[in-house]
Structure 1
Amino acid sequence: MRAIWKGAITFGLVNVPVSLYSATESHDVKLHQVHDADGGRIRYQRKCEVCGEIVPYEHIDKAYTEGETTVVLTEEDLESLPAEKSREIDVIEFVPSEQIDPLMFEGAYYLAPNSASTKSYVLLRRTLEETDRTAIVSFALRQKTRLGALRVKDDVLVLQTMLWPDEVRAAEFPELDEKVRISAKELEMSSALVSSFEADFDPDAHHDEYQEQLRTLIEAKIEQGDAIDTEATFGTTEEEPAEVLDLMEALRRSVEETRAKRSGGSSSKESGSGSGKKSTAKKSTSKKSTKTKKSA
């Protein structure tokens, strides 16, 4: 990995030199646009509306328009901002980890020690672990002042960028103001359904089916050309319309089906068939029960 930023975490008189690395990457198959008539590549050009010329990226500035007034901001203008010049991750406060709403999280970055001595880095990491606290920090990255959460994952400090409070929309749905009566039996059956899905979270058990199928489609078209038989490649994809059930019946059937799938999955696993099929069965059950609930 290549460091994209170098600076220091600061709180009080403590200074922890760090390097910033992107913690995530996209696994999506990269596609581009082509003309459907001849397969020619579609490319976008940065064309000036005034002179009509194609403008190279190094000659493009940013601008802000308000009414009929446009203010052009050059790279030099933006780099002159004090916040942009800062190379410090300033700790604002240490808060209980459970108080942070995950809805505010954005990108994730690893912070690695950027000095010969890692003592201050390890001390901060250990302190966060022992106190079960997350550091709320402010810093500048890519011409933006950002709010962040500094936490620990697998013995590494992780900087999670956060949305500012005014960037999170209020959840205002009039439908939720309606008073709905939930019976004790419905709550009991719903709890039983949740219980039948209980498991410890294993990230490796989940996979992106769309990207896998997209790769399969690309490989099949490379081998067979445009005459590919998608039904032979993927099987029949049409689904039967969901049966309309009342809520209690939908819950009862969902619990029974999930338990049966779990029981079958456990038997397969014990006989050495692996956990992959179990995960797939679980997903299809979840999808079906969701459809049934919507119909109810």
Structure 2
Amino acid sequence: MRSIWKGSLGFGLVSIPVKLFSAVQKSSLDFDMLDGRDHSRIRFQRINEQTREEVPYDKIVKGYKLDDDYVIMNDQDFADAAPEKSKVIEIESFVDMAEVDPMFYETSYYTEPDTKTNKAYALLIQALTQSKKAGLARFVLRSTESLCIVHPVKNVLVVTTIRFGQEIRSTEDLNLPDKIEVSKKELDMGMTLITQYAEKFDVSKFKDEYSSQLLQIIKDKSKGKRATVKKLKPQAKTSSDDLYEKLMQSLKKGA
């Protein structure tokens, strides 16, 4: 793997030189856009909207529109915005991971210490594991400041970027129902159903079946074959609109 960021991970007065590596990869298939007439690939061009001519990549600059005009920015401007954050993941506090709502999660990166014998790296892993805490930090990645949590996964420190509070939309505009009364009998049945289906989280049990099926169709089609597609079984409908009755039938189905 090739590192995407190099700097240091800091907590207190301790600084750990690290590299970041992407911890995730897409499982979906990549498709090219083609001309349906001769199957030639379609290329996208960077066109100057005034001259209608293609712009060389090295002539493209970033600009921010301010008062009907553009302010042109360069790499140094982005670095100057937060020089101390450009190369440091500084842990500002420690939090319970359970308190971080999953809505905030974005993507994860593996960290690799500069040396295999870095005692501070090992210390932070053990301390976070024992305390069941995660470090809350900020750093700059690709000219964008990111909020992140630093947490151990086995023998690796993982940096998972999370959204800032202002990036989560309010629920005020949703047309939510008024408070609905649920009887104790219905709630007890719902809790029983949850208990029956509860299990230890094991993500390895789940695969991207759609992409696998799609790839098989592609392979069969390349050989002039028609893929055999499994038909979906219709869900059995309950004859009753009673919530308690539906919960009861769900329990019987899962037994």
Q: TM-score, normalised by structure 1?
A: 0.78
Alpha carbons of structure 1 residues 131 and 237: separation in structure 2 relative to 1, 3 Å = closer
Matched with 2:244 is 248
Matched, 1:235 2:230: yes
Q: How many positions carry a matched residue from both structures?
A: 253
Matched with 2:105 is 105
5+ residue gaps in structure 1?
A: 260-296
Alpha carbons of structure 1 residues 125 and 39: separation in structure 2 relative to 1, 3 Å = same
Distance 2:240 2:36 in 1: 45
SS of corresponding position for 2:83? helix
Q: Deviations over 1:140-171 (max 9, x none)?
A: 11101111101111121111111111011123
Alpha carbons of structure 1 residues 153 and 235: separation in structure 2 relative to 1, 3 Å = closer
Aligned residue identity for 1:175: L
Written as runs of structure 1 = structure 2, the 5 A alignment for 1:25-64 is 25-64=25-64
Matched with 1:7 is 7
Given that 1:87 and 1:140 are in contact with CA atoms closer than 8 Å, whether structure 2 keeps it comes out as yes
Instruction: Report the Cα offset of residue 219 of structure 1.
Output: 0.9
SS of corresponding position for 1:175? coil
Matched with 1:158 is 158
Distance 1:76 1:239 in 2: 59
Matched with 2:176 is 175
Instruction: Report the Cα offset of residue 86 of structure 1.
Output: 2.8
Aligned residue identity for 1:90: E
Distance 1:171 1:123 in 2: 41
Alpha carbons of structure 1 residues 208 and 244: separation in structure 2 relative to 1, 3 Å = farther
Higher helix content, 1 or 2: 1
Deviates most, 63-72 or 139-148: 63-72
Deviates most, 97-106 or 147-156: 97-106
SS of corresponding position for 1:83? coil
Higher strand content, 1 or 2: 2
Alpha carbons of structure 1 residues 84 and 4: separation in structure 2 relative to 1, 3 Å = farther
Q: TM-score, normalised by structure 2?
A: 0.89
Aligned residue identity for 2:246: A
SS of corresponding position for 1:201? coil
Percent sequence identity over aligned pairs: 32
Aligned residue identity for 1:123: L
Distance 1:240 1:107 in 2: 35
Distance 2:250 2:113 in 1: 50
Instruction: Report the Cα offset of residue 244 of structure 1.
Output: 6.0
Given that 1:78 and 1:84 are in contact with CA atoms closer than 8 Å, whether structure 2 keeps it comes out as no
Written as runs of structure 1 = structure 2, the 5 A alignment for 1:16-165 is 16-83=16-83, 86-115=86-115, 117-165=117-165
Distance 2:9 2:234 in 1: 54
Instruction: Report the Cα offset of residue 242 of structure 1.
Output: 4.8
SS of corresponding position for 1:138? strand
5+ residue gaps in structure 2?
A: none
Q: For the aligned residues, what is the CA RMSD?
A: 2.2
Q: Deviations over 1:253-284 (max 9, x none)?
A: 2111121xxxxxxxxxxxxxxxxxxxxxxxxx
Distance 2:94 2:85 in 1: 25
Distance 1:83 1:169 in 2: 30
Distance 1:27 1:104 in 2: 22
Q: Deviations over 1:104-131 (max 9, x none)?
A: 1111011111136311111111111222
Deviates most, 138-147 or 245-254: 245-254
Deviates most, 236-245 or 210-219: 236-245
SS of corresponding position for 2:50? coil
Instruction: Report the Cα offset of residue 85 of structure 1.
Output: 7.0
Instruction: Report the Cα offset of residue 206 of structure 1.
Output: 0.7
Distance 2:6 2:236 in 1: 56
Alpha carbons of structure 1 residues 168 and 45: separation in structure 2 relative to 1, 3 Å = same
